[in-house]
Chains A and B, each alone.
Chain A
Amino acid sequence: EVQLVESGGGLVQPGGSLRLSCAASGFTFTNYGMHWVRQGPGKGLVWVSRINKDGTTNYADSVKGRFTISRDNVNNTVYLQMDSLRAEDTALYYCTRNNYYDVWGKGTTVTVSS
């Protein structure tokens, strides 16, 4: 079964850090670009970051310089290192694959609050 499972979310103070993980299974991980998409409470979907098959990366302007995406092709996992977190980063963070998102995880919740 093709599956993405996110973890690592939680409550963090403004200025703090979190590292999200997304474990992939059921497909050839190295064949796909991987993305993070977030959804604030009651809000729409917002693309955050992409890591391509070759390891090149892209970021939304709102997170550039604060977030870092990476992938481990041995353990089939994609990461999102989030530093200098702000209240506006509070959201449910989804891991997805491909450029049109045919597989989604259930998401992990990040809350930035003092």
Chain B
Amino acid sequence: DIVMTQSPDSLAVSLGERATINCKSSQSVLSSNKDNFLAWYQQKPGQPPKLLIYRASTRESGVPDRFSGSGSGTDFTLTISSLQAEDVAVYYCQQYYSIPLTFGPGTKVDIK
């Protein structure tokens, strides 16, 4: 199984400042067609998760451009360039390269 880890567990960022979340997979999720099978989700309390990023860096339709994803192979980053109040949530990375599909443990983002 591919184990996903995230850091930090939680972070508090001032409004308008940058938030950076790291995700690491225990094996490469880079496919033979050069796509990284890595997604990012945002989950607010009482709501289902929402897809933000897939293929490591492709923003889902309707997601604000302050959210960006980067990385390849085993190391990935989600960046919120200018934190807004509505971005308070838990963020999860997920690999869909191989079964079982696995999620990271989540990173809680709060306002400082």
In the complex, which residues of chain B have a beta carbon less than 8 angstroms from the beta carbon of A44?
92, 103-106
CB-CB contacts below 8 Å: B60-112 with A: 60, 92, 94, 96, 99-106
In the complex, which residues of chain A have a beta carbon less than 8 angstroms from the beta carbon of B103?
44-47
Given A44-B103, A47-B102, A47-B103: A100 and B94 interface contact (C-beta under 8 Å)? yes
Chain B interface residue number, banded: 20 to 34
Contact count A vs B, C-beta below 8 Å: 50
Number of A positions contacting B (CB below 8 A): 18
Among candidates B41, B96, B104, residue contacting A99 with C-beta atoms closer than 8 Å: B96
Whether A101 lies near B37 (C-beta < 8 A) is: no
CB-CB contacts below 8 Å: A4-51 with B: 35, 44-47, 50
Given A44-B92, A61-B100: A94 and B54 interface contact (C-beta under 8 Å)? no
A106 and B51 alpha carbons, distance in the complex (Å) = 14
A23 and B8 alpha carbons, distance in the complex (Å) = 37
Among candidates A60, A61, A104, residue contacting B48 with C-beta atoms closer than 8 Å: A104
Whether A94 lies near B105 (C-beta < 8 A) is: no
Tell me if B23 counts as interface (CB < 8 A to partner A).
no
A6 and B102 alpha carbons, distance in the complex (Å) = 22
Whether A100 lies near B51 (C-beta < 8 A) is: yes
CB-CB contacts below 8 Å: B1-53 with A: 37, 39, 41, 43, 48-51
Please, what's the 1-or-0 string for A86-102, where 1 marks a CB less than 8 Å from any CB in chain B?
Answer: 00000000100001111
Among candidates A45, A104, A106, residue contacting B92 with C-beta atoms closer than 8 Å: A45
A-B contact pairs, 24 of them (CB 8 A): A44-B103, A44-B106, A45-B41, A45-B92, A45-B94, A45-B103, A45-B106, A46-B103, A47-B101, A50-B101, A58-B99, A60-B100, A61-B100, A94-B48, A94-B49, A99-B101, A100-B37, A100-B51, A100-B54, A100-B55, A101-B39, A101-B51, A105-B48, A106-B48
Q: Which residues of A contact B (CB under 8 A)?
A: 35, 44-47, 50, 58, 60-61, 94, 99-102, 104-107
